[in-house]
Amino acid sequence: MQTTESDLKVISPAIGITARILFTLIFFLSGVTHFTSMQSYIDLMPAPIPFRAFWVAISGVVELIGAAMILFNYRPRLGAWLIVLFLVPVTIVVHGTAMITLPDQVMRAINVSMFLKGLAMIACALFITQFGVSATDPR
């Protein structure tokens, strides 16, 4: 443990591994359910979007590949860019649209939370694109 300029710095491989597991868990679960519950994801998308089943399948694949790359520290910066590529349109198109257009106020409020969660996950993924996932990772 070190202190640097009034900030606490704890370097531990266990923290890094735990963070990678926690960050990627949602993408693994969501990626799998994109295929096991595809219709649920199709129903979340605005009806005017063409080829919704195709986009659900592609997004599931992108999620799974990006999460695996981050979790296993195999080109994690590229994996994080894949997660960003997935999250930006989903956050805007699905949750951004729903928080504005849904008639039910409770569902709009839930989608505001989902929209903000999406922004936070984009921020985490962008952080990984810049710094990787390990203090000694030169990639």
Is 138 within a domain? Answer: no
Nearest to 64 by CA among 33, 23, 28: 28
CB 87 within 8 A of CB 34: no
Total domains in the chain come to: 1
Residue 75 tokens, joined: 């080109």
Q: Which domain holds residue 31?
A: 2-131
* pLDDT at 1 (0 to 100): 53
Is 139 within a domain? Answer: no
Nearest to 66 by CA among 98, 34, 114: 34
Strand partners, 116: none
Strand partners, 42: none
Among all chains, which residue has been given the structure tokens 């295929």? 35
Q: Is the pLDDT of residue 13 over 90?
A: no
Is 29 within a domain? Answer: yes
* pLDDT at 107 (0 to 100): 94
Helix, strand or coil for residue 9?
strand
- Nearest 10 degrees: CA dihedral of 67, 111, 85, 53? 90
pTM for this prediction: 0.88
- C-alpha–C-alpha distance, residues 71 and 59, integer Å: 18
Is 80 within a domain? Answer: yes
* pLDDT at 133 (0 to 100): 86
* pLDDT at 138 (0 to 100): 47
Question: What is the pLDDT confidence band of residue 75, given thresholds at 50, 70 and 90?
Answer: very high
Residue 57 tokens, joined: 């399948």
Is 117 within a domain? Answer: yes
